[in-house]
Amino acid sequence: MKLLSEIIMIIVTLSFVRLFNLDNRQRIDSISEIVVHLLYNSGYATVHFDLNSVYHPCMESVSDILSLYDGPVIINAGNYNKGDSVIMILDWNMVISMTYDHLEEVGMLVLIVHRDDATQLSPSIPTKLLNSMISKIAIVAIAHSSNLEATDAHITIIDRIKTRNCKLIKTVVQSLNQSSITELNVTNTSAGHSSKNFKGCSVDVGIVLLAPFTVSHQKPNAAEYSGLEVDLLRVLASYFNFSIQLTPPQNGMKWGELRKYGSTGLMGMLQEGNVDFAIGSIGRSLARNTMLKAGVGNFYDHVIFAVPPGIPYGPMEKLTMPVSSNAWIFIIATFIVFSLLFSIDVSKQNFRIKLDKQNASFIYAWSVLFGGAMHNSSKVVFKRYVLIGWLSATLVLRNAYQAILFNNLRRGIEFEPILSLEDIDKAGLYYYMYNITQRFFVRNPHILKRSVIVKDDVSLQGILDDIADNKLKAAFPLPRSNVAFFNKQRLFRSKVHVSQYIIETYEVAIHYPIGSPLTELFDEVVLRVRAGGLHEYWMRQFQGPKLDRSIELKKLSLHSLLGVLMIYGIFCGCCCICFAAEIIVDKIKNLH
């Protein structure tokens, strides 16, 4: 498809009337500073000097510009990358005669042009330049005359807003006063986008689905899109008056891999210029900011691990769950101490410890612990004090334990929560992730060793369904808002939980091909949307309420008391074995 362009031309007349007292050196310095200022305003990092066709009367400007510009500079390279700037110094005849096909990929072209007659400085742009696809052109036309009072210069800036399908030409003329030249304040020479009306032309937008940023609803005729970024895109389309043509990557791919050459998926569509820009929860990163062009962040989120509801508790774990390990150690130690105290016999004559069978201090303490009666209680005052203390302690322990156990069983707590990386490893979960997510764990090889790379065509919805139902033992790194949106769709069903471990702060932004002039246009509106709080309203609409961890009370069943039944069965089995052993031993004694 032939690329068209929106051209906004701002013609600025710089009248050097006050330079009549300046010598030629000062005049060249002034012009050089203006050119350098234009380079800084354009934001292009690498500047190429094409000196093959240099016009020698203006040669002094080259050294001046080189000394003033502190960015990277390449001289006579011949090979230009997207977004680079090129400076050429030549006369007007060369501007008219030369071709510009080899410069169409550059971001900015600066032409320092010599005119013999100051009266010919009115900007007449050559047709070849107007028809070229160079994004931004600055023409500095200088008339050298023996009469310094007649010395004059004009700067013409052509700023193109390139889309794949739009063409609009608008000319604005602006003059700078003498003081602005004296102070070299040329901020007004930067071509502002005075026209923001795309007049309904179509803009091609690449899209990848990741709720709630981009959501697809299948309709009989075609897919219908919604989501946070889609709503933002509609605001931009309404403000700039363009229509939207959403295009997903081919062959079911998603973001793909971003490489210097031969990128795939959505990254490849951007790098090759197949779309004007792209959305789909694309986070800003160093690589993307280098090989693509990112706008300002429009939504902020945290990348966390989506995990199953938890590690299932076993029947015995449910019984021990109300009391921590340290509390169990304290109870056992207290039980042993009181058992020994029941064996101490204190009288006026002596002090001794009785551990014979008749006292059975362990059995008595065990019986009291579970609320049983202590038969044949001692008449000794010391043992009575011990008994009262043990009864008080066991009363508190039993009531607290039973209350917590009953509450847990009624709430149906079935899982131990997975909150940290240690919990993930303890649960034996693997780290499932898309290939593009591996960049978050470059410094954590432990996670990469346990990672499972998911293909782009695998449904994320299906993966989260299996995680929520505890069918897939996986921890999946996702934006927190994505998990919130998923849980909102699963009414009255198990939910995906999230870890407390925050992987990274996630800044979602619209991404453009490098050198695209749309960034500056859209960023202004995106910042206004954020300042107005509209994006927060959209977030509430798509995410829904926060996950309520409270669980509806359940009726107790035999399954809830399975641990108690198991202990009861073990003790009954032990009693039967002891009873059978006593009978056998008694029969053997009678035979002898």
Domain presence at residue 296: no
Domain presence at residue 345: yes
Beta strands in 377-435 (DSSP E): 415-416, 430-434
pTM for the whole thing? 0.64
19 with 167, same domain?
Answer: yes
Q: Is pLDDT at 75 greater than 90 in this prediction? A: no
* Tokens matching residue 121: 């400085």
Q: Is pLDDT at 430 greater than 90 in this prediction? A: yes
Domain presence at residue 476: no
Domain presence at residue 481: no
Q: Which amino acid is at 478?
A: L
List Cα–Cα distances, 422 to 3, 134, 244, 312, in angstroms.
54, 55, 46, 16
d(CA 241, CA 364): 88
Residue whose entry in the numeric block shows the structure tokens 């160093």? 286
d(CA 578, CA 28): 111
183 with 331, same domain?
Answer: no
* 42 pLDDT tier (thresholds 50, 70, 90): low
Taking a C-beta distance cutoff of 8 angstroms, is the pair 122, 155 a contact?
no
pLDDT of residue 188: 40
pLDDT in tens, 193-248: 445 788 889 999 999 999 899 998 877 777 789 999 999 999 999 999 999 999 99
Domain boundary (379, 411, 443) is at 411
Domain boundary (125, 154, 189) is at 189
* 535 pLDDT tier (thresholds 50, 70, 90): confident
pLDDT in tens, 281-318: 999 998 898 899 999 999 999 999 999 987 777 777 77
The larger pLDDT score, comparing residue 586 to residue 228, is at 228
* Tokens matching residue 335: 């039980």
Percent of the chain with pLDDT over 70: 73
Domain presence at residue 383: yes
Domain boundary (189, 218, 233) is at 189
The larger pLDDT score, comparing residue 413 to residue 351, is at 413
Q: Which domain holds residue 167?
A: 4-189
Residue 19 three-state SS: helix
20 with 161, same domain?
Answer: yes
* 62 pLDDT tier (thresholds 50, 70, 90): confident
Q: Is pLDDT at 173 greater than 50 in this prediction? A: no
d(CA 546, CA 476): 19
pLDDT in tens, 454-480: 988 888 999 999 999 989 999 999 999
DSSP state string for 239-270: HHT-EEEEEPPGGG--S----SSS--HHHHHH
Helices (runs of H) and strands (runs of E) counted in the chain: 19, 22
Domain presence at residue 303: no
d(CA 230, CA 538): 10
Angle at 473 between CA 469 and CA 479, to 5 degrees: 80
Percent of the chain with pLDDT over 90: 23
The larger pLDDT score, comparing residue 280 to residue 380, is at 280
Local structure of residue 211 (DSSP, 8 states): T
Local structure of residue 455 (DSSP, 8 states): P
Q: Is pLDDT at 376 greater than 80 in this prediction? A: no
Domain presence at residue 242: no
Residue 359 three-state SS: coil
Mean pLDDT of 376-384: 65
Q: Is pLDDT at 59 greater than 80 in this prediction? A: no
pLDDT of residue 152: 62
Taking a C-beta distance cutoff of 8 angstroms, is the pair 438, 451 a contact?
yes
Q: Which amino acid is at 58?
A: C
Q: Is pLDDT at 174 greater than 60 in this prediction? A: no
Total domains, the chain: 3
Domain presence at residue 521: no
